[in-house]
């Protein structure tokens, strides 16, 4: 119940215009490595391996704590839905002025009709799932809002039987005209 209340308050603040972000240049690959290291124990308990392919010199301009929260939420979902003994792929690439992070699991996937709704509050693909079976149902809604605040995009690609890929795109430093300079 405490986690649900915290997530609801977090989401309400993120949806407002006054939520302050501490924006700074971030070595995005290092931040991802740090979160992966934190989540390794949980993945190890399910014999899940992380396959990392990260462009190490990728720099984004963002709020470190909030971007860690995004990665943690995506990995938490990927670990939850990946069967024991499988792997999760984490890829970071830079395409011109965009940093793209892909988190791909080997789970059951999401039906096509559910994909447009997965980042809505409390939406669950498995309607029979209870809060005991997982999180608050707010994780992807929070991810969506954080990425939106960073002027990025968040998408999910999935095919039943073939897993799910969460895709985050963020502006890559050097900064665009609207970003502060160092």
Three-class HEC string of 43-54: HHHCCCEEEEEE
pLDDT for 70 equals 93
pLDDT reported for residue 82: 94
Alpha-carbon span 103 to 71, nearest angstrom? 9
Reported as half-sphere exposure (CB side, CA atoms, 13 A), residue 8 has a value of 7
pLDDT, position 138 = 74
Instruction: Report the alpha-carbon distance of residue 24 to residue 60 in Å, rounded.
Output: 8
Identify the bridge partners of residue 154 per DSSP, sorted by sequence position. Answer: 168
| Backbone CA torsion sign across 137, 139, 145, 151 | negative
Shortest CA distance to 87 belongs to which of 131, 53, 38, 137?
53
- Integer Cα distance of 127 and 108 in angstroms: 15
The predicted structure's pLDDT at residue 106: 94
Residues recorded for the chain: 182
Q: Which domains does the chain have, with CATH numbers?
A: 2-171 (3.30.565.10)
pLDDT per residue, tens digit, the chain (182 aa), is 455 555 555 655 656 666 678 889 999 999 999 999 999 999 999 999 999 999 999 999 999 999 999 999 999 999 999 999 999 999 999 988 899 999 999 998 877 877 665 665 555 565 444 444 455 567 788 889 889 989 999 999 998 888 999 999 999 876 444 444 33
pLDDT at site 179: 44
User: Which residue's entry shows tokens 């900064």?
Assistant: 175
Question: Given this model, what pLDDT does residue 124 score?
Answer: 57
Helix, strand, coil shares of the chain as percentages rounded to 5? 35, 25, 35
């Amino acid at each position: 119940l405490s986690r649900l209340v915290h997530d609801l308050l977090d989401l309400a603040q993120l949806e407002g215009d006054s939520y302050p972000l501490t924006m700074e240049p971030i070595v995005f690959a290092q931040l991802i490595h740090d979160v992966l290291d934190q989540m390794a124990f949980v993945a190890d308990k399910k014999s899940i391996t992380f396959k990392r392919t990260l462009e190490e010199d990728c720099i984004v301009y963002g709020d470190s704590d909030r971007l860690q929260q995004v990665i943690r939420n995506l990995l938490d979902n990927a670990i939850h839905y990946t069967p024991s003994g499988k792997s999760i792929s984490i890829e970071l690439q830079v395409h011109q002025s965009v940093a793209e992070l892909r988190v791909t699991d080997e789970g059951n996937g999401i039906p096509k009709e559910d994909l447009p709704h997965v980042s809505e509050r409390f939406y669950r693909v498995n309607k029979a799932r209870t809060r005991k079976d997982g999180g608050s149902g707010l994780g992807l809604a929070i991810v969506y809002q954080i990425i939106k605040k960073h002027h990025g995009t968040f998408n999910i690609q999935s095919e039943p039987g073939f897993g799910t890929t969460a895709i985050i795109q963020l502006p890559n430093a050097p900064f665009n005209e609207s970003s502060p300079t160092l």
